């Protein structure tokens, strides 16, 4: 999860030929692993949600590698084949314009599955100039460079009741 300042001229909601200023951009990259306990192959529908409200706009760039997807009101959906007794994965990327000093990544959908995530690893990177950065989950470590600050945290048996949110000023 990377947050950075930005102005988008090609954001899907901007009028043709106009640049719409968007104070910040959220970029999310994730690798998602699933262990199939079925004895036969299973093809399932996967829904990948985005945090959407008046401050989190619909992503202007989305990639679900090796899977075609369909845009829906609050995310994207695609079909995925799961092999019996095997681990199958997909990589997702999206870039989302945000209008305020707060970015969210949805993890609470885990509760709909009624099963914890065995292992979740997170990396949140913000520009070094951001002040009073706060995360909903305490980082395990922090790495600083001249231009960025990166927060790392890992959770086992992760069953969150709140989403990953980073705020700053």
- For the residues 27-33, what does the mean pLDDT come to? 94
CA distances, 133 to each of 88, 123, 127, 139, 142 (Å):
35, 14, 10, 12, 12
Given a cut of 50, is residue 11 above it in pLDDT?
Answer: no
pLDDT confidence band for 17 (50 / 70 / 90): low
pLDDT tens by residue, 51-94:
999 999 999 999 998 888 999 999 999 999 999 999 999 999 99
User: How big is the chain by its Cα radius of gyration, in Å?
Assistant: 17
Given a cut of 80, is residue 126 above it in pLDDT?
Answer: yes
Percentage of the chain lying above the pLDDT 90 cut? 75
| pLDDT recorded at residue 18 | 54
pTM of the model: 0.84
- Paired tokens of 23: 């104070």
| pLDDT recorded at residue 112 | 86
Given a cut of 70, is residue 20 above it in pLDDT?
Answer: no
- Paired tokens of 114: 């009624």
| pLDDT recorded at residue 4 | 77
Least reliable range by pLDDT among 14-28, 40-54, 83-97: 14-28
pLDDT confidence band for 19 (50 / 70 / 90): low
Q: All domains of the chain, ordered by start, with CATH?
A: 2-167 (2.60.40.3680)
- For the residues 94-120, what does the mean pLDDT come to? 91
Please answer whether residues 131 and 168 qualify as being in contact, where contact means their C-beta atoms are separated by less than 8 angstroms: yes
pLDDT confidence band for 10 (50 / 70 / 90): very low
> Residue 137 and residue 46: Cα distance in Å, rounded?
26
Least reliable range by pLDDT among 12-16, 26-30, 113-117, 146-150: 12-16
């Amino acid at each position: 999860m990377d947050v950075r300042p930005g102005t988008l001229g090609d954001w899907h909601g901007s009028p043709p030929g106009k640049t719409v200023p968007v104070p910040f951009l959220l970029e999310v990259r994730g690798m998602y692993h699933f262990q199939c306990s079925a004895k036969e192959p299973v093809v399932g529908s996967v829904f990948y949600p985005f945090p959407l409200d008046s401050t989190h706009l619909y992503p202007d760039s989305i990639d679900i590698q090796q899977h075609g997807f369909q845009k829906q009101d609050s995310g994207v959906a695609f079909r995925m084949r799961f092999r019996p007794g095997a681990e199958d994965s997909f990589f997702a990327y999206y870039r989302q314009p945000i209008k305020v000093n707060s970015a969210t990544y949805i993890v609470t959908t885990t509760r709909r599955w009624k099963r914890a995530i065995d292992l979740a690893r997170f990396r949140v990177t913000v520009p070094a100039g951001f002040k009073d950065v706060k995360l909903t989950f305490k980082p395990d470590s922090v790495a600083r460079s001249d231009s960025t600050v990166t927060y790392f945290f890992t959770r086992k048996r992760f069953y969150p009741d709140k989403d990953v949110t980073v705020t700053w000023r």
